[in-house]
Amino acid sequence: MGVTGLKIGICGGTFDPVHTAHLAVAELVKSEYGLDKVLFIPSGMPPHKDLQNVTGPVHRLKMVQCAVSSNPGFEAVSLEIERSGYTYTVDTLKELHGIYPEGTEFSYIIGADVVMDLLTWRNAREVFALTGFIAVMRPGFSDEAFNSRLADLKENYRVNISCMEIPLLDISSTYIRERVKAGKSVKYLVDQKVEEYIEENHLYKKEDRL
């Protein structure tokens, strides 16, 4: 790329399917923190998921590609679905550091609830050295355990983590799958191209998710 000092956001997840809350959160964070780009990285074989209940990775990647196609500041990344075996964030971050120029600043966008689990991530200390975090939370959110963990991460693990309040966007992939299965509309809950992809590929209609 030839340019240093890039600020790159990362949104990881199953994205089964990607929905408008994912997109809105990413855009709000991108604008607030002046990110050059936000990468959407569908997980390949997430170690914490029951893979029998996860749609195939190619479908999930294509839905992300559909969802981000109209935003030049968003990019779908296939690193994790191309990797064999379980996919861990630490490996993805190493790959990204090899792709982007030295000096690129990465910020992993997470929900406030994920802050409580960061120390359980594989090679957590190495992860903390490779990326910062932006934790998004609903307005007025305050929790003693959360605040304590946040302070611990910053003071004892040197985690670069900041918090941002966003409007409550209570949309879940589970809710969307259930509506599709019931033959109900998901218009405006997902991008129009994602809605069309789901329909054309008969996703979420059957128990067989592959």
Evaluate whether 176 touches 190 at the Cβ level (below 8 Å). Answer: yes
Phi, psi of 84 (to 5 degrees): -80, 155
CATH code of the domain in which 69 resides: 3.40.50.620
149-194 pLDDT per residue, tens: 999 999 999 999 999 999 988 999 999 999 999 999 999 999 999 9
Q: What is the pLDDT of residue 2?
A: 43
Nearest CA among 105, 98, 99, 151 for reference residue 131:
105
Start-to-end Cα distance in the chain = 37
**Cis ω for the linkage preceding 17 (within 30 of 0):** yes
Residue 126 lies in a domain: yes
Residue 199 lies in a domain: no
Residue 87 lies in a domain: yes
Instruction: Point out which residues pair with 132 in neighbouring strands.
Output: 107
CA dihedral sign of residues 169, 28, 184, 48: negative
Q: What is the pLDDT of residue 158?
A: 96
Residue 183 lies in a domain: no
Residue 201 lies in a domain: no
Q: What is the pLDDT of residue 140?
A: 84
Q: What is the pLDDT of residue 1?
A: 40
Q: What is the pLDDT of residue 45?
A: 76
Range of the domain at 103: 7-170
Q: Which residues of the chain have pLDDT under 50?
A: 1-3, 208-210
Q: How far apart are CA 137 and CA 139, in angstroms?
A: 6
